[in-house]
Structure 1
Amino acid sequence: MASLNVGSLGEYIREQRRNAQYSLRQLAEVAGVSNPYLSQIERGLRKPSAEILQQIAKALRISAETLYVQAGILEERRGEGLELRASILADPLINEQQKQALLAVYDAFLKENAADGRPGADERADERTDEDEGKTP
């Protein structure tokens, strides 16, 4: 996974907050975090959890995935499991270590499938259709 760049994350959140025309206090209130904590995030002094990033994203009306990528929690990809990853990271019922374990297992499966040269789900569906056309029920 990408390394965390807390400073640029804070700068990005500050920029998004200003674009949304929120004061620091207003965003903190809407996001449900304390004003001092949000200030520390913006200044790059704190590393927010995925849940906090999700709350901030919701308050700013931006994609949580965007903040996850900015924070280095997710690597920027072409939609490769992004929704699944975001759902895992946002799940309040499991802790951070469990979330990272689930993501590691998912990444291992993706690597295994790529190494085996296995086609993607859409290609597999096409192959089944082609094979089924030659068979009689």
Structure 2
Amino acid sequence: MASLNVGNLGEYLREQRRNAQLTLRQLADAAGVSNPYLSQIERGLRKPSAEILQQLAKALRISAETLYVQAGILDEREPEAAGVRGAILADPSINERQKQVLLQVYESFRKENGLAADEAADTGETSETDKSG
């Protein structure tokens, strides 16, 4: 697991907040954190918990996974492995609960077809049973 990269996380959060056209206070209110605490996160002085990152992601309408990667909590996936999962997580038109449900359905279909979660991720490969049919 990567170490927390607080400075880059703060810069990334600030950029996302500005893209969403939110003030520091508006984002703090929407995420349920204090204004000074959010300011400290953006300046790289604080290391937010995964729960706080999830609240911020929800308020910014971005993927929590994206913030976890920025914070160094999760390792970044290879671009080709992101595929369907990345598209679902990046879609701003659906909420976090809907994203999780879609991912669960997607993974259940992959398991049914004999593919593990990370195996042949989004490369278009088919399982042996599909090839012999």
TM over 0.5: yes
Cα deviation 1:114-136 (Å, max 9, x = unaligned): xxxxx94378x8345678x7xxx
CA RMSD of aligned residues (A): 2.8
Q: Distance in 2 between matches of 1:75 and 1:30?
A: 27
Question: 1:107: which partner in 2?
Answer: none
| 1:5 CA drift (Å) | 1.0
Q: Distance in 2 between matches of 1:60 and 1:129?
A: 41
1:4 aligns with 2:4: yes
TM-score with structure 2 length normalisation? 0.62
- Larger of the two Rg values belongs to structure: 1
Matches of residues 84-123 of structure 1 in structure 2 within 5 Å? Answer: 120-121=115-116
1:36 aligns with 2:21: no
Matches of residues 61-100 of structure 1 in structure 2 within 5 Å? Answer: 61-77=61-77, 78-79=81-82
- Percent sequence identity is 75
Q: Distance in 2 between matches of 1:36 and 1:12?
A: 17
Cα deviation 1:87-116 (Å, max 9, x = unaligned): xxxxxxxxxxxxxxxxxxxxxxxxxxxxxx
Structure 2 gap segments, 5+ residues each: 87-113, 121-125
CA pair 46-129 structure 1, distance change in 2 beyond 3 A: same
- How many matched pairs? 97
Q: Distance in 2 between matches of 1:49 and 1:22?
A: 22
SS state at 2:73 partner: coil
Contact 2:27 2:59 in 1 (8 A): yes
TM-score with structure 1 length normalisation? 0.60
Question: 1:126: which partner in 2?
Answer: 127
Q: Distance in 2 between matches of 1:130 and 1:31?
A: 48
SS state at 2:4 partner: coil
| 1:2 CA drift (Å) | 1.5
